[in-house]
Structure 1
Amino acid sequence: MKQRWTTVVWSVIYLLLLLSLLTPFSIVTAFLLILPVAILFTVLNVKSFILHLAPVWLMVALIHPVYAMLAAYFLVPGLVMGYWYRKRAPAMRVLKYGMAAMLLEMLLLLMIGTAFFQLNLSEYVDEIVQVTTAPLEQMGVNGGLAGQMAWTPEHTDALSERTMRMVPFALIISSFLMTVVTHALARPILNSMGISVPALKKAREWMLPRSLIWYYLIVWIMSVASKDSGSGFVEMIVINAMPLLQICFMIQALGFFFYLTHEKKWHPVVPFLAAIPIVLFPPMIILGILDLAFPLRQSISKKNG
């Protein structure tokens, strides 16, 4: 009986989150839309799951059809993550498939929007950039800024072009963040409901594939070669791949600090303090690269042993 009321509460939460998508709160609530679906699909059988979602979908569709479209969009990754939660799959597998489902949906929507609804992503991005940078241009005009300090229409065009080229990076990062947020909240909630969900490895055990070093080297060579080649395709690969690889090395460097803190018995706050320079000072990723390239952790363990 308690679980029945809990699932009803999650159906109500799902309804409220859907209704919030056309409000200013959507910036936050969009990251939570997968959560109710994943929880309900994990806890309920298929028939009960449909019975819980059908009234929600009917209500939002009667209010405005766009709500039903948004509900359908966030449904698939929720089903995927819920399916793997049912299987008691490792956390990394849940994240991997959930992120893949979200990313594929985004790409599919772009394709459908471009093919059938005349969506011009370039014009849309350009409009957003112009609206965002308009105050900067106005400051340059009214404030009497001169030279390189003034923001000009040429700067806006360059930013718009670079933003357009980084759309793949934005899609990957947003997919990653949505699935991570969902898992971070779903695991304790499901555990409280009596369903054991595997956790991610502890931060000190994080170890990314060593092949990332070779990918980084290849992308770096491509970046050097593309400077004079004028190849827009190669440059787009570099612009998207380089920050993704740097984020991976940041994560690896952070994991190394957690490992070092554990081995040296330092205060637990040390890795969190170390995260500040790792994020703000990009050359710090060298720690992550060295941690992957050389057996630093084994040498630290031997010294402590």
Structure 2
Amino acid sequence: MRNTYALTEAAIQLAIFIVLFLASVYVPLFGMIISLFLPLPFIVFTMRHGYRSALVLLTAAVIVSTVISTLLSAFAAVMFGTSGIVIGALLAKQKNQYAVLAAATVAFLVNIVINYVISIKFFELDIIAQTLSMLSDSFHTAVQVMESAGKKLPEETIARFEQGLRVIKYVTPTLFVIAALAFAYLTIIVSVPILKRLKLSVGTWPPFRQLMLPRQLVWYYLLVLIATFFPLEQGTFAFIVVINLYYVLQLLFAIQGFSFLYYLAYRKQIAKGIVVAGTIVCLFVPFLLYLIAILGIIDLGFELRKRVQ
């Protein structure tokens, strides 16, 4: 960053990041939405000047955010900055858009895991454990209130709720993957229109209906299913690995299943509004989501689209 233009733009992008960062922290209700734009200054700067210069911008952003806020702000700056640099570097190289999404997901995931570990080791703050504890306390308080009113919940319902809390604790890695994927996808969605307005080439996204995951995932899923038949003790490393692989693969197959449905709707000329409404309904009905995942497995394993054609 020796030339004046790069230094000037670095200062501008740093100022934009700081304004967005302060707004995401102090503006109620809209903070989460504003945070989706935090990687944007790094994306723009990386596409124009390369990732090496962007690393200098990232260093400045970490220092300034720490000075004007707290030490925890540095971790947020690193997460959004590194993710923006990854997205910008791949977009500058005209990489496949799904490859950009995958790389951004990995970048967010690594940052989420590192921040989670640091919060436990150095700040003794376990957000997952505290959230589960609050849910458990609220549930048992509600049970006591119902019992005092003469209504007693079945023991099976209470046991099922407690089992669900334990499962959530075990599938924390899967929750991190979902959060990283959501952050990456939404960040790209809100950034691409702005990048186009800035006349930066972002390529074209293939339609979602054309998405095809690697067929090897079917074999991985079969191996994981076989592993579930072994008597794995809850809480062990092997149990946690198997259950998280199971849920992550279920997520990927659900995405594949939705892609097939979008392809089928396109072939049958079904209105897009109906398809989107159906997708939203399926997301909130676990049984339907499970059926969509099975459809994704069939689509990958048996090339269902060729049969539709």
TM-score range, shorter chain: 0.7 to 0.9
- Give the partner amino acid of 2:197: S
Q: 1:258 to 1:110 in 2, by over 3 A?
A: closer
| In 2: Cα distance, 1:150 partner to 1:6 partner | 62
From 116, 130, 135, give the equivalent of 1:132: 135
- Give the partner amino acid of 1:292: L
Q: What's the CA shift string for 1:50-104, capped at 9, x where partnerless?
A: 8977876565333223333421332111111111122122212222222222222
Three-state SS of the structure 2 residue aligned to 1:32 is: coil
Q: 1:148 to 1:31 in 2, by over 3 A?
A: farther
Q: 1:59 to 1:210 in 2, by over 3 A?
A: closer
Tell me the residue number matched to 2:206.
201
Three-state SS of the structure 2 residue aligned to 1:269 is: helix
Q: 1:219 to 1:136 in 2, by over 3 A?
A: same
- The 8 Å contact of residues 75 and 115 in structure 2, kept in 1 or not, is answered as no
Q: Within the alignment, does 1:19 sit opposite 2:22 as a pair?
A: yes
Q: Which moved more, 1:9-18 or 1:245-254?
A: 9-18
Shift of 1:246: 1.8
Tell me the residue number matched to 2:257.
253
Shift of 1:11: 4.6
Q: Within the alignment, does 1:262 sit opposite 2:262 as a pair?
A: no
| In 1: Cα distance, 2:296 partner to 2:13 partner | 40
Tell me the residue number matched to 1:240.
244
- Give the partner amino acid of 1:140: V
From 54, 60, 77, give the equivalent of 2:65: 60
Tell me the residue number matched to 2:174.
169
Three-state SS of the structure 2 residue aligned to 1:200 is: coil
Tell me the residue number matched to 1:43.
48
Shift of 1:239: 2.6
Q: 1:38 to 1:226 in 2, by over 3 A?
A: farther
| In 2: Cα distance, 1:12 partner to 1:266 partner | 46
How big is the alpha-carbon RMSD for the aligned residues of Structure 1 and Structure 2?
3.4
Tell me the residue number matched to 2:110.
104
- The 8 Å contact of residues 61 and 77 in structure 2, kept in 1 or not, is answered as no
- Give the partner amino acid of 1:257: L
- The 8 Å contact of residues 34 and 182 in structure 1, kept in 2 or not, is answered as yes
Q: 1:33 to 1:149 in 2, by over 3 A?
A: farther
Shift of 1:272: 2.0
Q: What's the CA shift string for 1:210-246, capped at 9, x where partnerless?
A: 122222222222223236x557333212332222222
Shift of 1:197: 0.6
Tell me the residue number matched to 2:303.
295
Shift of 1:15: 1.6
- The 8 Å contact of residues 207 and 252 in structure 1, kept in 2 or not, is answered as yes
The number of residue pairs the alignment matches comes to 293
Shift of 1:275: 1.9
- The 8 Å contact of residues 168 and 240 in structure 1, kept in 2 or not, is answered as yes
- 1:68-147 pair list within 5 angstroms: 68-113=74-119, 117=122, 119=124, 121=126, 124-144=127-147, 145-147=151-153
Q: What's the CA shift string for 1:7-34, capped at 9, x where partnerless?
A: 8876544223322454454444444322
Aligned-pair identity in percent equals 23
| In 2: Cα distance, 1:276 partner to 1:113 partner | 34
Q: 1:163 to 1:5 in 2, by over 3 A?
A: same
| In 2: Cα distance, 1:55 partner to 1:209 partner | 40
Q: 1:51 to 1:291 in 2, by over 3 A?
A: closer
- Give the partner amino acid of 2:298: L
- 1:143-162 pair list within 5 angstroms: 143-144=146-147, 145-148=151-154, 158-162=163-167
| In 2: Cα distance, 1:197 partner to 1:95 partner | 13
Q: Within the alignment, does 1:225 sit opposite 2:230 as a pair?
A: yes
Q: Within the alignment, does 1:215 sit opposite 2:223 as a pair?
A: no
Q: Which moved more, 1:99-108 or 1:168-177?
A: 99-108
Shift of 1:262: 2.2
- The 8 Å contact of residues 58 and 78 in structure 2, kept in 1 or not, is answered as no
Three-state SS of the structure 1 residue aligned to 2:206 is: coil
- The 8 Å contact of residues 246 and 285 in structure 1, kept in 2 or not, is answered as yes
- Give the partner amino acid of 2:258: L
- The 8 Å contact of residues 130 and 156 in structure 1, kept in 2 or not, is answered as no
- The 8 Å contact of residues 114 and 120 in structure 1, kept in 2 or not, is answered as yes
| In 2: Cα distance, 1:44 partner to 1:201 partner | 27
